[in-house]
């Protein structure tokens, strides 16, 4: 039976029983509007852990634009049906007023890894992510937690926090789940118009073309980035947020030459919808 709870005390109660029985607890934090990408993380947790907790919380703290928060898709009923079908043990759906009650003023702020890519493009975003993830870790106290490579920078930033703040949790990264046409699954995909949806697979195609050029010997970062930017500019209503090639650990942009395993990451608006994607050069 799947339990669905809204209060911290209910989560603690269930998890402490599991821990007393030496059950391994896995955790998958989400913002709902679930799809096969989320399901992949959950399936991995179910396979490796005795109990799996999924949280659904659209975290206002990590949105830098009000319209993005307001239009963020929500599908509670379908989400719960999917989680039940997958065999999840506990769903934690906190209310915003319980997560951030009046007087809430503490934030997790991280330097370094948050200063490039999505961190540079969305001020305050990762402070919001880290604050909510640390709160969720403190409530759930999982042994392992799963995050997706689709948000590659997010995984690195969370791993850094776990190390810096001695969080007793092991962080796992799952590969990007894609539609048959290559588009990375994202809750935001449902906001695309039919025309934008038809064009969106070209984002991953642009990354793949760049990877082919890299594998054929092109190492010049500017040439590789320009090639991707040209492809993206051709998309309907496209506005490029960034196209970057970075060191996969420091996330600092490469200045001249790209190396095998470097992160190629893009963020692009199609109309009002911001999509991200990435791959590791020479590795995918
Ligand atoms: P979100 O609900 O968008 O905050 O995502 C919750 C988790 O699912 C994050 O760790 C994401 O990186 C992960 N995720 C989202 N989309 C995908 C995808 N297409 N493939 C793999 N993981 C994903």
d(CA 264, CA 149): 12
Is 78 a domain residue? yes
Residues 6 or more apart in contact with residue 31 via CB below 8 angstroms: 56, 57, 58, 59, 72, 187
202 with 91, same domain: the answer is no
Q: State the first-to-last Cα distance of the chain, in angstroms, to the nearest integer.
A: 38
> What per-residue confidence (pLDDT) applies to 52?
99
> What per-residue confidence (pLDDT) applies to 65?
92
Is 179 a domain residue? no
231 lines ligand 1 (CB under 6 A): no
- Maximal C-alpha separation, the chain: 57
Among this protein's residues, is 38 annotated catalytic?
yes
Is 182 a domain residue? no
177 lines ligand 1 (CB under 6 A): yes
Which entry of 7, 35, 38, 89 is annotated as an active-site residue?
38
State the number of CA atoms in the 13 A half-sphere of 260 facing the CB: 6
Cα(150) to centroid(ligand 1), Å? 6
Cα(284) to centroid(ligand 1), Å? 18
Residue 216: burial class (beta carbons within 10 Å; 0-12, 13-18, 19+): exposed
Mean pLDDT of the chain: 97
> What per-residue confidence (pLDDT) applies to 284?
74
228 lines ligand 1 (CB under 6 A): no
Cα(44) to centroid(ligand 1), Å? 13
> What per-residue confidence (pLDDT) applies to 279?
98
Total domain count, the chain:
2
31: confidence class by pLDDT, cuts 50, 70, 90: very high
What is the span of the domain harbouring residue 169? Answer: 3-174
């Amino acid at each position: 039976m799947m339990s669905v709870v809204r209060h911290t005390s209910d989560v603690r109660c269930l998890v402490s029983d599991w821990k007393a029985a030496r059950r391994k607890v896995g955790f998958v934090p989400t913002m709902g509007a679930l799809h096969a990408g989320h399901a992949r993380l959950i399936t991995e947790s179910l396979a490796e852990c005795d109990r799996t907790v999924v949280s659904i919380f659209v975290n206002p703290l990590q949105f830098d634009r009000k319209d993005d928060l307001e239009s963020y898709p929500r599908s509670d009923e379908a989400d719960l049906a999917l989680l039940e079908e997958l065999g999840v043990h506990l769903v934690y759906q906190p209310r915003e007023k319980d997560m951030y009650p009046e007087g809430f003023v503490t934030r997790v702020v991280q330097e370094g890894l948050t200063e490039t890519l999505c961190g540079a493009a969305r001020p305050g975003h990762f402070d919001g992510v880290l604050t909510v993830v640390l709160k969720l870790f403190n409530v759930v106290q999982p042994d392992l937690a799963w995050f997706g490579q689709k948000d590659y920078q997010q995984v690195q930033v969370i791993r850094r926090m776990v190390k810096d703040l001695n969080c007793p949790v092991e962080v796992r990264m799952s590969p990007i789940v894609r539609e048959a046409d290559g588009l990375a699954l994202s809750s935001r995909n449902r906001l695309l118009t039919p025309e934008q949806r038809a064009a969106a697979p070209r984002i991953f195609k642009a990354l793949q073309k760049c990877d082919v050029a890299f594998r054929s010997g092109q190492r010049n970062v500017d040439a590789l980035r320009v090639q991707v930017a040209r492809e993206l500019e051709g998309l309907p209503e496209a506005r490029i947020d960034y196209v970057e090639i970075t060191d996969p650990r420091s996330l600092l942009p490469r200045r001249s030459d790209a190396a095998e395993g470097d992160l190629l990451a893009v963020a692009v608006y199609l109309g009002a919808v911001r999509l991200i994607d990435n791959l590791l050069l020479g590795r995918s």
